[in-house]
Amino acid sequence: MPNQAPVTITLDPHLRLGTIDRRIFGSFVEHLGRAVYTGIYEPGHPTADAYGFRRDVAELATELGVTLLRYPGGNFVSSYRWEDGIGPVAERPRRLDLAWRTLESNRVGTDEFLSWCRRLGVEPMMAVNLGTRGIEAAADLVEYCNIPGGTTLSDRRRSNGSPEPYGVRLWCLGNEMDGPWQVGRRDADEYGRLAARVGHAMRRVDPTIELVACGSSGRQMPTFGAWERTVLEHTYEVADYLSLHAYYEEHDGDRASFLGSGAAMDRFIADVIATADSVGARLGSPKRMKLSFDEWNVWYMSETTPVDTSAILPEGSRLFEDRYRLLDAVVVGDLLITLLNHADRVRVACLAQLVNVIAPIATEPGGDAWRLATFYPFAHTARAARGTALRPVVETPTLETARHGEVPATSCAATYDPDEGTAAVFLVNRTDRPVTARLRHPDFPGWTVAGCASIVADHGGKLVTAEAARAAEPVEHRNVRPGAAQTEVDLAPESWTVLRIRVGE
């Protein structure tokens, strides 16, 4: 197939969108399937540490570059009693989790998770239950986690083995509270009022915390927009963030639309910003609501079966253990491009989830842990995207898609870290034809291409084993023609590319 006309991208080091918050390289661990039990935690596993957490998984999480972990749900949180998960393990109750109809032993709870995060060097993001509970339970949990001592709950944490407070900064006020599947689902007005009250009380316990109000559980919800408006009218003052959730998949072989997922995410974010800013304007508030994209990924949701409400699943059941194709890895890379292009407003983001459940890391009980295809674009982006996100000026043709209408044929994000003397350019060719990207960078001093690597989609299936998934490891190539003011890079059809740049005199 013939090449398309080159795409022109102008990169100006002065055209800055904002500092990249490292929290956008977050992920998510829910009490769901094997995310916790035989995922992060498996006492008796050959690599288990003294606390029963798998070292092989911890090492992969570090290699992935994860900075933040959301916990304990997800839908799970909406019927969770956090008190069940503290104190002597042998005395913890066994419960039926109502979200996933799974037996929960509570062997892992707040202390185990937060101590693991501390050992791993990642920031925790906790969610409170606004499905079956409310103000008191949420305020109590903040007290348990963040007050140094001298109160009943903080002293209980101390006697449970954590003398230092955890200092959890980020808190989600519930999860997907508009979803019909959510235990304790509420309408926007009811949720907004509750979230405002709960948030107010949690801040009374610790004024330094940051709060995330629930946005719609997806762009496809019939109440999308109206939900955000009403919720923010109640919570604008108390909340620091509004949440967004989105999962993408290829529907009925519609590859073009699937490759346009990054553009769909881009519009979703723009719509939420517009809605949030309109509430801010009406309230006369100088505050700009930040966004927390705390669930995003590719998910073969149409292949999953609904939760069986007649059965109780044993702990550690296999749920949503998706395996990914090269095409999915390209799309994940493109979704990260979109997040970088909104770095000024999207300050938190979580790839949902970390291990086994729609995840970049897979494990076998008693066996190996390995990288799946989506691991690679995430790890490479988290490593290369440093400093400031730029506003690249992209002159590209568009592509017609059935689900998203016209989308740019090439997507691009660029980052620049003058202190480290590095820059990076991320590109996706969403079309099925090769294209050359002509990068113009006359104002970057001493532009040198340090490396260029790509993931190229094919028409193959899911990459199940570690060996197969390694096909998604970006391959270094030389299809780059660097110059002082302009660099050309050839983009294969349906591919993701990262260019690592050194800058400076």
Residue ranges that bind ligand AHR, judged by CB under 6 A:
30, 32, 73-75, 175-176, 217, 295, 352-353
Torsion angle of the four alpha carbons 338, 342, 345, 348, in this order, in degrees rounded to the nearest 10? 40
- How far apart, in whole angstroms, are the C-alpha atoms of residue 175 and residue 193? 15
For ligand AHR, the closer CB: 75 or 356? 75
- Selected catalytic residue, list 30, 83, 112, 176: 176
Respond yes or no: is residue 164 known to be catalytic. no
- How far apart CA 76 and CA 135 sit, in angstroms, is 18
Q: Please, what is the minimum distance in Å from the beta carbon of residue 300 to ligand AHR?
A: 13
Give me the residue whose beta carbon is nearest to ligand AHR: 74
Distance CA 497, CA 486 (A): 17
Q: Which is nearer to ligand AHR, 75 or 146 (CB)?
A: 75
What is the nearest approach in angstroms of ligand AHR to the Cβ of residue 84? 18
* 8-state DSSP, 75: G
Catalytic residue among 42, 104, 112, 295: 295
Complex with ligand AHR: residue 295 or 490, whichever CB lies closer: 295
Peptide bond into 74 cis (omega under 30): yes
Residue among 179 and 225 whose Cβ is closer to ligand AHR: 179
In the chain, the N- to C-terminal Cα span, in Å, equals 41
* Closest distance of CB 372 from ligand AHR, Å: 16
d(CA 117, CA 115): 5
**Which CB, 352 or 424, lies closer to ligand AHR?**
352
Contacts of 71 by beta carbon, 8 Å cutoff, 6+ apart: 28, 29, 30, 113, 124, 125, 126, 127
Smallest separation, CB 80 to ligand AHR (Å):
12
Least distance between ligand AHR and beta carbon 73 (Å): 5
Angle between helices 55-64 and 375-384 (to 10 degrees): 60
Cα–Cα distance between 71 and 199 in angstroms, integer? Answer: 18
| Annotation marks residue 63 as catalytic | no
Backbone angles phi and psi of 227, in degrees to 5: -60, -50
Which residues are part of the catalytic machinery?
A: 176, 295
